[in-house]
């Protein structure tokens, strides 16, 4: 054997193993670089008021002193009714959202609506619904229907359409063709294909989406009152405007308990149904 | 059904549970509408008001664009800082909450803490921080850090709990200290998912950073609130268009980054 014969395979063996190709590495480094640059830029230019920061510890101690003792008696007088209203807003908003999201979801699912233009249009509705925060929707609906729980329920509904519609369209696109072809071959009308072909396949996903969104909506509906759209946020806003921090603490405590119960409930129902 | 047993099996039997549930939901909807004081007349008035509102929102008025850009930049800064610090804080929290790495007496309290961070809407947290550290962007950053910890620390912990235990055992068997176990056995398995969660949180922080201004915690939300209160609806629509555009661009960018890390 000559040395030259050794050299070729050795060169191949000696080449250092790397997990990513040069292009992948370059893309990653670029992302890291931009991230660091963005953070540095934000730290250097963000508007911080030093005086406010200096007395933050005193303010925090003061906040907790004012919150204690929590005004538990306030629950029956000022919180219970708006809490029920909050739950109505969240539930009604979710139901309305489900109703409104089904047609949009059907329109967005590429295997059901075979038109690029219609799909894009549905996607546009879904994206705009999601991009506008529920508080902004609430501001808009308060301007339209006046302050109150109705504006809140509609805000929750319009905010949820994007979320529910997107997930529903994805679930529809993942369905099996078999049952649908069988129904089509038997000459079933469109409604029957939907109800007996698609619905049984997406039902678990649909219930899951509905429960998940309801859980989120319970949290979201708690703040709508800050812009006048009803619910427990109104009690929070009132208590804060009068600097009654012991009542604020009671409202926060109520929200915490309700949110925890909602989460436990949703987990329990999911485990039983799905 | 027993009388019909042995006869023809029905292919599409009526789903009585389903019907009862649908009927119950319909009844509840009617009840809730009446409880929330909803009437056809109010709806009709509302539609008229809605038409007027849209009329006043169009065309959007970008004349005060310096104010708009200033607010957007502050929102962007809040989102970037809150995401960076929130992710940084979530890494140790996620490790502490993972039940396959930590004993129960560490994991369970950490999980409670994470769930607590998640239970309040960012705007409510922002209110408390506005009281504690004053008006301005810093309160917004602090509020969104709490929100980020609540979400990504939970996702981190769940991702860590799903990893394969074999590399863990291998690294441990070689006598490596805990830090080495994390760096060489845990992180390589979860890194790409972490990047996904981090990007998701950046998107979500960007959305929320446009809202914390409503309670005085900095960003475009303050400008929006002021415009609504002064009935400058044409400026409101300009702000909304700008917010949606910013969020849209953010989503496109995070899509690129996600592809770079796949």
Each residue's pLDDT tens digit, B204-230: 898 888 888 888 888 888 888 888 888
Chain A residues whose beta carbon lies within 8 Å of the beta carbon of residue B12 = 196
Stretch among A55-59, B155-159, B237-241 having the lowest mean pLDDT? A55-59
Instruction: Check CB contact under 8 Å for B32 and A140.
Output: no
Is residue A52's pLDDT more than 90? no
Q: Same domain, yes or no, for B141 and B253?
A: yes
Of A261, A38, A229, the closest CA to residue B81 belongs to A38
Tokens of A3: 């040395």
pLDDT in tens, A242-264: 888 888 888 888 998 998 899 88
Residue B4 in any domain: the answer is no
Cβ(A218)–Cβ(A90) below 8 Å: yes
CB contact under 8 A, A42 and B33: no
pLDDT beyond 50 at B130: yes
In contact, A149 and B37? CB cutoff 8 Å: yes
Buried b (16+ CB within 10 A) or exposed e, B142-169: bbbbbbbbbbbbbbbbebbeebeeeebe
Where residue A13 falls among pLDDT bands split at 50, 70, 90?
Answer: low
Tell me which residue in A131, A150, A255 faces B247 most closely, judged by beta carbons: A131
Choice between A4 and B67, residue whose per-residue pLDDT is larger: B67
The domains found in chain A, sorted by start residue, are: 3-46 (no CATH), 71-273 (1.10.3720.10)
Residue B141 in tokens: 């950053």
| B76 and B105 fall within a common domain | yes
**Residue B1 belongs to a domain:** no
* pLDDT score, position B198: 87
Closest in A31, A49, A140 to B260, CB measured:
A31
Which of B121, B134, B208 is the closest to A222 by Cβ? B121
Pair A151, A229: CB distance under 8 Å: yes
Q: How far apart are CA A114 and CA A116, in angstroms?
A: 7
Q: Are residues B72 and B144 in the same domain?
A: yes
Tokens of residue A255, six digits:
């929200």
Residue A12 has pLDDT above 70, yes or no: no
Same-domain pairing of B106 and B235: yes
Which among B28, B74, B260 is the nearest to A27, CB-wise?
B260
Cβ proximity of A92 and B32 under 8 Å: yes
* Parent domain of B145: 65-260
> Can you tell me which residue has the tokens 């760096």?
B183
Closest CA to A254 of A212, A218, A210: A218
Does the pLDDT of residue B113 top 50, yes or no? yes
Question: Residue B154 is encoded by which pair of tokens?
Answer: 């939970």
| B14, pLDDT greater than 80 | no
Q: Is residue B168 part of a domain?
A: yes
Mean of pLDDT values over B138-153: 89
Q: Is residue B8 predicted with pLDDT exceeding 50?
A: yes
Total number of domains in chain B: 2
| B177 and B231 co-located in one domain | yes
3 state DSSP class of A120: helix
Average pLDDT, chain A: 84
Task: Say whether both B36 and B73 belong to one domain.
Answer: no
Domain membership flag for residue B78: yes
Tell if the CB–CB gap between B134 and A49 is shorter than 8 Å.
yes
CA torsion angle B33 B34 B36 B42 (round to 10): 80
- Record: contact A131-B260, CB cut-off 8 A: no
Check CB contact under 8 Å for A45 and B133.
no
Cβ atoms of B93 and B156 closer than 8 Å? yes
Residue B2 lies in a domain: no
Q: What is the pLDDT of residue A14?
A: 60
Q: Indicate the pLDDT class of residue B1, thresholds 50, 70 and 90.
A: very low
Q: At residue B91, does pLDDT exceed 70?
A: yes
Select the residue of B12, B78, B124 nearest A223 (Cβ to Cβ).
B124
Chain A neighbors of B233, CB-CB under 8 A: 143
Give residue A11's pLDDT band: very low, low, confident or very high (50, 70, 90): low
pLDDT at A274 over 90: no
Residues B88 and B42 in one domain: no
Residue B3 in any domain: the answer is: no
pLDDT in tens, A180-239: 899 889 988 888 888 888 888 888 889 889 998 999 899 889 888 888 888 888 888 888
B170 and B147: one domain? yes
Nearest CA in chain B to A135: B211
For residue B253, being part of any structural domain is answered with: yes
Nearest chain B Cα distance for residue A218, angstroms:
10
| Residues of chain B above pLDDT 70, percent | 96
Q: Dig out the tokens for A256 from the structure.
A: 């915490």
Both B255 and B145 in one domain: the answer is yes
Would you call B32 and A260 a contact, using CB atoms and an 8 Å cutoff?
A: no
CA-angle at A97, arms to A91 and A102, nearest 5°: 135
- Structure token pair of residue B195: 């990047």
Percent of chain A with pLDDT over 90: 14
Instruction: Kindly give, in sequence order, each residue whose CB lies less than 8 Å from that of residue A228, ignoring residues fewer than 6 positions away.
Output: A138, A142, A147, A148, A151, A234
Confidence of residue A10 (pLDDT cuts 50, 70, 90): low
Do B156 and B250 share a structural domain? yes
B18 or B146: which leads in pLDDT: B146
- CB within 8 A of B38, min separation 6: which ones? A150
Mutate to test the interface with A, among B111, B125, B132, B206 (most CBs of A within 10 A): B132
Same domain, residue pair B77 and B110? yes
- Does B123 contact A59 at a Cβ distance shorter than 8 Å? no
Q: Which residues of A140-174 are buried (b: 16+ CB within 10 A; e: fewer)?
A: bbbbbbebbbbbbbbbbbbbbbbbbbbbbbebbee
Q: What is the DSSP code string of B150-163? A: HHHHHHHHHHHHTS
Q: Residue B242 domain-assigned?
A: yes
B132 and B43 co-located in one domain: no
> What's the pLDDT score for residue A39?
86
Tell me what the mean pLDDT of segment B150-156 comes to: 89
- Can you tell me whether residue A47 is helix, strand or coil? coil
Q: Of B9-18, B21-30, B178-187, which range is least confident?
A: B9-18
Flag whether pLDDT at A1 surpasses 50: no
Chain B residues within 8 A of A28 when measuring between CB atoms: 260-261
pLDDT in tens, A83-136: 888 998 999 999 999 999 999 999 998 888 888 898 889 988 888 888 788 888
Which domain CATH number covers B179? 1.10.3720.10
Whether residues B121 and A56 touch (CB distance < 8 A) is answered with: no
- Give pLDDT, residue A75: 77
| Position B72 pLDDT exceeds 60 | yes
B246: Cβ–Cβ under 8 A, 6 or more apart, which residues?
B72, B75, B76, B206, B210
CA distance A14 to chain B (A): 24
Res B10 pLDDT > 80: no
Does residue A220 contact residue A89 with C-beta atoms inside 8 Å? no
Q: Which of A28, A46, A153 sits opposite B36 (nearest CB)?
A: A153
User: Rounded mean pLDDT of A138-166?
Assistant: 88
Test A196 with B127 for CB contact under 8 angstroms.
no
| Arithmetic mean of pLDDT, A55-77 | 79
For residues A153-171, average pLDDT: 91
């Amino acid at each position: 054997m000559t040395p030259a014969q050794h050299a070729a395979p050795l060169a191949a063996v000696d080449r250092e193993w790397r997990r990513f190709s040069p292009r992948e590495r370059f893309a990653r480094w670029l992302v890291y670089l931009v991230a660091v640059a963005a953070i540095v830029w934000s730290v250097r230019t963000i508007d911080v008021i030093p005086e406010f920061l200096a007395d933050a510890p005193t303010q925090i101690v003061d906040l907790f002193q004012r919150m204690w003792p929590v005004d538990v008696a306030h629950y029956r007088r000022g919180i219970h009714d708006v809490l029920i209203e909050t739950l109505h807003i969240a539930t009604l908003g979710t139901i309305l959202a489900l109703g409104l999201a089904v047609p949009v979801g059907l329109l967005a699912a590429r295997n059901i609506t075979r038109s690029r233009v219609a799909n894009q249009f549905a996607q546009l509705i879904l994206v705009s619904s999601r991009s506008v925060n529920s508080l902004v929707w609430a501001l808009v609906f308060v301007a339209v229907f006046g302050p109150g729980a109705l504006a809140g329920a509609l805000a929750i509904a319009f905010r949820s359409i994007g979320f529910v519609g997107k997930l529903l369209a994805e679930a529809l696109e993942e369905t099996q063709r078999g049952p649908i072809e069988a129904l089509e071959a038997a000459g079933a009308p469109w409604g029957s294909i939907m109800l007996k072909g698609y619905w049984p396949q997406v039902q678990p996903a649909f219930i899951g989406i509905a429960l998940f969104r309801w859980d989120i909506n319970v949290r979201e509906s708690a703040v709508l009152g800050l812009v006048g759209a009803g619910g427990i946020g109104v009690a929070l806003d009132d208590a804060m405007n009068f600097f009654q921090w012991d009542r604020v603490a009671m409202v926060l405590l109520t929200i915490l308990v309700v949110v925890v119960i909602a989460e436990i409930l949703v987990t329990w129902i999911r485990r039983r149904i799905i | 059904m027993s009388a019909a047993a042995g006869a023809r099996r029905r292919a599409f039997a009526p789903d009585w549970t389903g019907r009862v549930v649908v009927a119950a939901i319909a009844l509840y909807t009617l009840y809730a509408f009446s409880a929330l004081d909803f009437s056809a007349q109010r709806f009709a008035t509302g539609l008229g008001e809605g038409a007027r509102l849209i009329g006043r929102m169009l065309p959007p008025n970008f004349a005060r664009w310096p104010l708009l850009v200033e607010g957007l930049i502050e929102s962007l800064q809040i989102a970037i800082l809150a995401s960076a610090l929130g992710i940084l804080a979530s890494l140790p929290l996620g490790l502490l909450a993972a039940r396959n790495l930590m004993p129960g007496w560490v994991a369970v309290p950490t999980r409670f803490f994470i769930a607590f961070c998640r239970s309040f809407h960012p705007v409510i947290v922002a209110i408390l921080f506005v009281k504690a550290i004053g008006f301005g962007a810093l309160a917004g950053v602090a509020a969104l850090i709490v929100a980020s910890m609540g979400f990504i620390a939970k996702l981190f912990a769940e991702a860590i709990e799903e990893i394969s235990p074999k590399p863990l055992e291998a690294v441990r068997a070689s006598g490596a200290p805990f830090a080495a176990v994390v760096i060489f056995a845990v992180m390589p398995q979860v890194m790409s998912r972490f990047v996904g969660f981090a990007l998701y949180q950046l998107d979500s922080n960007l959305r929320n950073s446009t809202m914390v201004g409503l309670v005085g915690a900095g960003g475009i939300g303050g400008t929006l609130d002021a415009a609504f209160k002064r009935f400058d609806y044409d400026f409101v629509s300009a702000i909304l268009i700008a917010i949606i555009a910013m969020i849209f661009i953010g989503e496109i960018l995070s899509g690129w980054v996600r592809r770079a890390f796949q």
